[in-house]
Amino acid sequence: MVSTALASILRSGRADFNARFVAARRIHPELEPGAFTGFLGTAVDDLAQAVEKVRADRLGEVTMAAYDAALELVGQKLAGPGARMKAIEEGWCRILPKAASLVAMAPGRLIPAVCNAVHQLASTPGARPAHWIETMEELAPQCADADAFLKLGQVAAWRAGLAHLRSGAIAAADALPEPMALAAFGAKSGSSWAGVRERLLANPWFDPASEPKPSSTLRVVTQAGSFKGFGGLFIEPPLVVSSGEHFLVRSESECWLLTADVFGATFHRASIKEFETAKGDHRFPSGLQVKGSRVVFNGNSFEFPALGEFTSAAVNATTLALSSRLTHTIVLAALR
């Protein structure tokens, strides 16, 4: 049973909505009427009721956009009963109704944006869709317009684990009101965006929400990747080389670009040629030595007995990456 407002919109456009359902079912034969109706009666209806309270004149446009999005989600089993990803429906229900005034102005942009963001986060190993949903639920209602909503979403997605969004997210934060930008990063009281921004650009392992870590010693910050048999990427233990501020990783005949920072790590397909070309640029800064299972940094020695002898090591201005025959992960250590 849906609300009177949604029922009225569906009834007035019955022929069009039915045609859309039939067309969607040709594309997604597993689209079940019962599951779709259930999603309409919960997630879509909650949004419709929220929009009716703030912009009743936009309810028709919002319903059309929500209906189309619902067809895609339920048809691909990304929402509704039996969904493969519960997080997408959670994001819809927690974010969109609270930002109803914004959704009313740009439903065709914001509804898919929320669904796509949660889908990408839920599909990325190590990413935290729940963190993104929490941030957007809290801050999105404060956005002045749809553009600010999308920029906030980009910042929140970076902080929720999508490391490759780093540069774009910092640029997006520049366009947000300072209090919102700082809140999106969980920055400590008394911080300024100019100061936080400077440190983010200088050090990928700086977290505005945490106390600064000592910078004179090596510290392991994360491990990225896993064995393909356990749902990861690597058939055999990988090798790593540096590629500017990122790294290239190879396992057998496959290669990826690894982007990593304090918020997460992501892999992106690359070519073997890129890996082989990068191998020629293998230089360590003074004060850093890697031999066997030992790393010497700034006069201090660090042992990694669990890794055994390193099979490769790569470094950029801020990070040391290590691999060994005993693991299918890349170990990353901060140099700052």
Tell whether 210 is covered by a domain. no
Pair 52, 184 in one domain: yes
CA separation (Å) from 213 to 207, 216, 225, 242, 335? 9, 9, 25, 24, 11
Are residues 12 and 137 located together in one domain of the fold?
Answer: yes
- From 202, 235, 258, give the residue that closes a domain: 202
Q: Is the same domain home to 302 and 185?
A: no
Whether residue 213 lies inside any domain: the answer is: no
Q: What is the reported pLDDT for 212?
A: 67
Instruction: Please count the other Cβ atoms lying within 10 Å of the Cβ belonging to residue 304.
Output: 19
What is the greatest pairwise CA distance in the chain?
Answer: 76
pLDDT in tens, 205-253: 999 998 766 566 788 999 999 999 988 999 999 999 999 999 999 999 9
112 burial level (CB within 10 Å; 0-12, 13-18, 19+):
middle
Whether 280 and 176 map to the same domain: the answer is no
Check: CB of residue 140 under 8 Å from CB of residue 152. yes
Total count of residues recorded for the chain? 336
Which residues are registered as beta bridge partners of 296?
289, 301
So what's the pLDDT on residue 216? 66
Same domain, 194 and 325: no
Q: Which of the listed residues 202, 234, 254 is the one where a domain comes to its end?
A: 202
Q: Are residues 183 and 240 in the same domain?
A: no
Q: Is residue 236 part of a domain?
A: yes
Domain C-terminal end among 137, 172, 202? 202
CA distance 6 to 49: 8
Within this chain, do residues 190 and 282 fall inside the same structural domain, yes or no?
no
Instruction: Give the strand pairing for 264-270 and 288-291.
Output: unpaired
The answer to whether residue 214 is domain-embedded is: no
**Shared domain check, 157 and 264:** no
Lowest mean pLDDT among 14-18, 177-181, 213-217: 213-217
pTM above 0.85, yes or no: yes
How far are the Cα atoms of 39, 115, 148, 207, 276 from residue 34, in angstroms, in the given order?
9, 21, 36, 46, 53
**Is 77 within the bounds of a domain?**
yes
Cα-Cα-Cα-Cα dihedral sign, residues 272, 273, 279, 281: negative
What residues have CB less than 8 Å from 65, skipping those under 6 apart? 107, 108, 111
Residues 312-326: tens digit of each pLDDT: 999 999 999 999 999
Which residue's structure tokens are 């170990």?
331
Tell me, what's the pLDDT at 300?
86
Is residue 212 assigned to a domain?
Answer: no
Both 270 and 192 in one domain: the answer is no
Q: Does residue 68 have a pLDDT over 70? A: yes
* pLDDT for residue 272: 96
Residue 120 lies in a domain: yes
Question: Which band of pLDDT confidence, cut at 50, 70 and 90, is reported for residue 336?
Answer: confident
Average pLDDT of the chain, as a whole number: 95
Output the CA angle 235-236-237, nearest 5 degrees. Answer: 130
**Same domain membership, residue 225 and residue 186:** no
Three-class secondary structure assignment of the chain: CCCHHHHHHHHHCHHHHHHHHHHHHHHCCCCCHHHHHHHHHHHHHHHHHHHHHHHHHHHHHHHHHHHHHHHHHHHCCCCCCCCCCHHHHHHHHHHCHHHHHHHHHCHHHHHHHHHHHHHHHHHCCCCCHHHHHHHHHHHHHHCCCHHHHHHHHHHHHHHCCCHHHHHHHHHHHHCCCHHHHHHHCCCCCCCCHHHHHHHHHHCCCCCCCCCCCCCCCCEEEEEECCEHHHCCCECCCCEEEEECCEEEEEECCEEEEEEEECCEEEEEEECHHHHHHHHCCCCCCCCEEEECCEEEECCEEEECHHHCCEEEEEECCCEEEEEECCCCCEEEEECC
pLDDT score for 328: 96
Is residue 98 in a domain?
A: yes
* One domain, residues 184 and 132: yes
> What range defines the domain where residue 328 resides?
219-334
Report, as an integer, the average pLDDT of 6-16.
96
For the chain, what is the domain count? 2
Q: Are 330 and 321 in contact (CB under 8 A)?
A: yes
In this structure, are 224 and 160 located in the same domain?
no
